[in-house]
Amino acid sequence: MKRIYLICLLLSCHFAQAQDDLKSTFQRIYEDINTNSEAYERLKYSTEHLGHRLTGSEQGKKAEEHVYNLLKSYGYDVKYQPFSAQSWARESLSLTLNKTTVPSVSLAHSPVKVDLQADLVDLGNGLETDYEKIGSKIKGKIALVFLHILPNSGENLKNLHRSEKTALASKYGAKGIVFINSVKGNVLLTGTASITGKLIEIPAICIGFEDGMKWKEKLAKEKVVADIKMHNKSDEATARNVIVSIVGSEYPEEKIVIGGHLDSWDLATGAIDNGLGSYAIIDMARSFKKLGLKPKRSIDFVLFMGEEQGLLGSKAYVQEAIKSGTLGQVKYMLNFDMVNAPIGFSTSRDEMIPLLDSIGLLYSSIDSDFKNKNSSGAGLHSDHQPFMLQGIPSGSGTGGQLPNDAGLYYHSDNDVFKLVDKRGLEQTVRVGAAYLYGLSSVKDIPAQRFSDAEIVKFLDSKGLKEPLMISGEWRWGK
């Protein structure tokens, strides 16, 4: 009994020492970022001097080079991870409805040249049930679709991504699709209408809320003819993820990937989407280097390009890891996409919650803004997706609000630096750095990589099978 007591005492002391070491590092991270964070100023410089960061464009290339050199200046060995992408850039667009010009914007990967005149048909939310109701009446016509879910549409309707709604329109024979944005003030939104990152067969465009609802009401009473004239540019291009790595001190063959997309759309400067996430990650890397942190697991800091075109950069990272046989080293993926002032942490896997709670409890004793409100759930359409589809658990900071109603201006010409809140951005850096260090330093990651059978069960339970089947990314049969 005495021996068992001594063993328990030693284990207890070891655990307490580990807790103290972790808390001490959290304190150092907190103080460094409060004093030395460069995230806000670096993002400001990027928006003012680089502009947008569209994948495949000259400005996208400049952004890649700028971040490469910035990380190198912190003392890292930096590498590019190139991949092929189909570049796309808008040139001109004209939309008239019954010969009345309506302000509009092209969605990315629409065809290079369009000269289309056809009747407009109201398809409501643009879900599969909406097409099934009207059958072949949409063939040869142009679908008018609400970008999100219309009020009074009934309960438990799950929205689809604009690319999935476009795929449905094409599947049912529509010759084009016009989205009504849900943001008031006739804000115009862009984004890709392609699932694959390749050109789509039909033009996809967006019009403002007030304009859209006016024409939706008119369409209920009379025939509306749409005339779309569109020119875009497209070519094969090379884009590059930017990566820096830290080799783990005890488990170098285990890895935490922390990523966020550097690319943005071209209507503005992408300050929120995803300047918030990408420049937070850059500053986390700065802090780790400045403090000389030595996590037990290896870490890859990844600035992905091509997210907006269909998760191209994160798919390239995963495919290269599969090819090299190293994907099994990735134990957890942290994705920071439009994260601001997090007060908790979200994870794709329930079994991670006790560990996240324990890390958060330690960190919240240092940072009173952090409330340790952790949760689990899963979704699609950001750079965690390719990892999740390979069974790898993922997570991100959560619970904070975007500043200055910035969520309304997602993908729009209003996504500019004045929306950014310095305090909220630095809170993202602090929380992200603390959780990254915690996950890279604990003895075990509770969530193991899923087998194919477990992935199917997981995705089905989260309601993700239908959108993945529509997108053609469901690889497990029916």
Q: pLDDT by residue (tens digit) across 175-224? A: 999 999 999 999 999 999 999 999 999 999 999 999 999 999 999 999 99
pLDDT by residue (tens digit) across 8-26? Answer: 433 344 446 678 899 999 9
Instruction: Classify residue 67: in a domain, yes or no.
Output: yes
At 428-440, the pLDDT tens digits run 999 999 999 999 9
Distance CA(119)–CA(407), nearest Å, equals: 33
The pLDDT score that the predictor gives to residue 11 is: 38
CA pseudo-torsion sign 164, 168, 169, 170: positive
Statement: residue 283 has pLDDT above 80: yes
- Structural domain including 133 reads 99-223
Total count of domains within the chain: 2
Residue-wise pLDDT for 89-111, tens only, equals 999 999 999 999 999 999 999 99
Last-in-domain residue among 197, 223, 249: 223
**Same domain, yes or no: 350 and 209:** no
Task: Verify that 255 and 286 share a domain, yes or no.
Answer: yes
The dihedral sign for the CA sequence 402, 417, 192, 140: positive
| Residue 418 within any structural domain of the chain | yes
β partners of residue 86 = 236
Q: How far apart are CA 361 and CA 138, in angstroms?
A: 55
Q: Please state the pTM of the whole predicted model.
A: 0.94
Q: Kindly state the DSSP code that residue 48 receives in the 8-state scheme.
A: I
Eight-class DSSP state of 458: H
Residues 338 and 439 in one domain: yes
What was the pLDDT predicted at 7? 40
User: 183 and 74, same structural domain?
Assistant: no
Q: For 239-273, how does the pLDDT look when each residue is reduced to its tens digit (9 = 90+)?
A: 999 999 999 999 999 999 999 999 999 999 999 99
Task: Judge whether 457 lies within some domain.
Answer: no
Pick left, alpha or beta for residue 270 (phi over 0 → left; psi -120 to 50 → alpha; otherwise beta): left
Q: How many residues does the chain have?
A: 478
Regarding whether 205 and 82 lie in a shared domain, the answer is: no
| CB burial string 395-414: b at 16+ within 10 A, e below | bbbbbbebbeebebbbbbbb
pLDDT recorded at residue 17: 66
Q: Which pLDDT value is given to residue 6?
A: 42
In this structure, are 291 and 393 located in the same domain? yes
Minimal CA–CA distance to 195: which of 74, 67, 107? 107
The string of DSSP codes covering 272-294 is IIIIHHHHHHHHHHHHHHHHT--
Q: For the chain, first and last CA: distance in Å?
A: 57
CATH number of the domain encompassing residue 156: 3.50.30.30
Burial class (CB in 10 A: 0-12, 13-18, 19+), 249: middle
Q: What is the DSSP letter of 138?
A: G
| Phi, psi torsion values for 299, nearest 5 degrees | -130, 135
Last residue of a domain, one of 164, 193, 223: 223
Does residue 439 belong to any structural domain of this protein? Answer: yes
Residue 374 and residue 265 in one domain = yes
In a domain, 36, yes or no: yes
442 and 350 in one domain? yes
Residues 243 and 210 in one domain: no
Shared-domain flag, residues 129 and 49: no
Residue 458 lies in a domain: no
Q: Of 223, 245, 265, which one is at a domain's C-terminal end?
A: 223
Q: In Å, how far from its chain's centre is CA 271?
A: 14
Domain shared by 298 and 357, yes or no: yes
- Which residue has 């009401």 as its token pair? 217
Say if residue 178 is in the same domain as residue 107: yes
- Residue whose entry in the numeric block shows the structure tokens 């560990």: 355
Tell me the CATH number at 250: 3.40.630.10
Does 62 map to a domain?
A: yes
